[in-house]
Amino acid sequence: MIGSMRMYIVDAFTDTPFAGNPAGVVLLDAPADEDWMQSVAAELKHSETAFVEANAPEPHPLRWFTPSTEVDLCGHATLATAHVLGGSRTFETRSGPLTCTATGGGWVEMDFPADPGEPVDADPTLVDALGGVTIEHVERGVSDLLVVASDAAQVRAVRPKATLAELPARGVIVTAPSDVEGSEGSEGSDFVSRCFFPGAGVDEDPVTGSAHCTLAPYWAQRLGKQELVGRQVSERGGTVRMTLSGDRVGLTGQAVTIARGELCV
């Protein structure tokens, strides 16, 4: 038994409960066994669960697990962790130090490494797995494949085949110019996206902060602007604000705590 410790469920990249991307956040009193953390993540079944040594001095050690594997970078679970701990925080991760800064109004900006893609040919497996998507362009980042579709309607309609998991990448980001216009009480966007990670045990991730490390450089170049707003048009949906600065991307979002309790094993 590890002993009881605090655990939270947080919806990230949204200010509305039951939207955005839910993440588990476990506050560790000391370093934990890797197999135990993987078991907890499998039990919680969120796309990622964050484990943070909250009592350690900054930068706080932070790790992320899907239900089936550890990942090198996760935006929404980092945002959820910063939201739970409050204020501005720095974390030590497998992707290096990550700084989260509270900017007011419940918004938190995360300083992440940019992951610009390089153009590649569309793999036949990719084309088949995405079905009727008209693919205009494909890039490969360190982590993911970026697929540019002809319009937002195709992004919303895509239903990938199981063969998507056979591709040699963490996952596939499908994106297109936005059809989301701003109105009173809502924010418009520059582009829309959806993200699929079947190889990591996540068929579709509701809102993916780390994917915007690749989305931001692509759309910044295409649109000629360094500040962007992305709308992930999954069933739950969520909004990510981005600021591209050299080889770093500022990812800004909000979060809502849904539940808090005690992990007893």
Domains of the chain, CATH where assigned: 5-113+252-263 (3.10.310.10), 118-246 (3.10.310.10)
pLDDT band at 4 (very low <50, low <70, confident <90, very high): confident
pLDDT at position 2 is: 53
Q: What is the mean pLDDT of the segment spanning 3-16?
A: 92
pLDDT at position 181 is: 80
Q: In the predicted model, is pLDDT for residue 239 greater than 90?
A: yes
What share of the chain in percent tops pLDDT 70? 97
92 given a catalytic annotation: no
Q: What is the mean pLDDT of the segment spanning 94-100?
A: 95
**DSSP result, 141-164:** -SSEEEEEESSHHHHHH----GGG
Mean pLDDT of the chain, nearest integer = 94
Q: In the predicted model, is pLDDT for residue 1 greater than 60?
A: no
Q: Of 48, 53, 109, 204, which is the active-site residue?
A: 48
203-230 confidence digits (pLDDT tens): 999 999 999 999 999 999 999 999 999 9
pLDDT at position 143 is: 84
pLDDT at position 186 is: 64
> For residues 3-31, b (16+ Cβ closer than 10 Å) or e, as one string?
eebebbbbbbbbbeeebbbbbbbbbbeee
- 97 preceded by a cis bond (ω within 30 of 0): no
E runs forming strands in 49-156: 49-53, 60-65, 70-71, 89-93, 96-104, 107-113, 118-119, 135-140, 144-149
> For residues 156-184, b (16+ Cβ closer than 10 Å) or e, as one string?
eebebeeebbebebbbbbbbbbbbbeeee
137-187 confidence digits (pLDDT tens): 999 999 899 999 999 999 999 999 999 999 989 899 999 999 988 655 567
